[in-house]
Amino acid sequence: MESNDAKTVPARFNVGDRVRVRDLPNLFYTRTQMYVRGVSGTIAARTYEDLIPEDEAWNRDEAPREQYYIVRFRQKDLWEDYPFDNDTLQTEFPDRWLEPVSG
């Protein structure tokens, strides 16, 4: 699947940026969990550029690559009754699943 002439969408986020996971509908396939939709977190790392799952799953191998990020959430932001304040959860998304959080 590696292709040198594949386009890459410019990365929009850097480590430390606040981001919110977009609340897109579920239809057929995604790797983006329901429990993170609409929740804000912090970019913990920029990992690699690759096809997004929604394209790769239908062999759209020429689709543009996107930057992937590891986003860190507070467990309490994900699960209201989570008992420990300092615990976090990290999971990974391509650029298009994230939107900037201002302020």
Partner 1 sequence: MPSRDELRQYYEIGGELAPAVHQHQDWPYEVPHPRYVAYMAPPHDVGGQADAPVRYEEKEEELWELNTYVTCEVLGWKGVWNSEERRRRGNNDLGLSLYYGLPYYGRWIWSAARMLVDKNHVSLTELLDKIAEVRSRYGKQ
Binding site for partner 1 (CB under 8 A): 1, 25-31, 33-35, 51, 53, 56-59, 61, 79
CB-nearer residue toward partner 1: 48 or 58: 58
Q: Which of 19, 10, 12, 7 is nearest to 44 (CA)?
A: 19
68 with 48: CB under 8 angstroms?
A: yes
Structural Rg of the chain based on CA atoms: 15
Between 5 and 34, name the residue whose CB sits nearer to partner 1. Answer: 34
Shorter beta-carbon distance to partner 1: residue 17 or 44:
44
Give least dist CB 33 to partner 1, A: 5
Find out whether 66 and 9 touch, Cβ atoms under 8 Å: yes
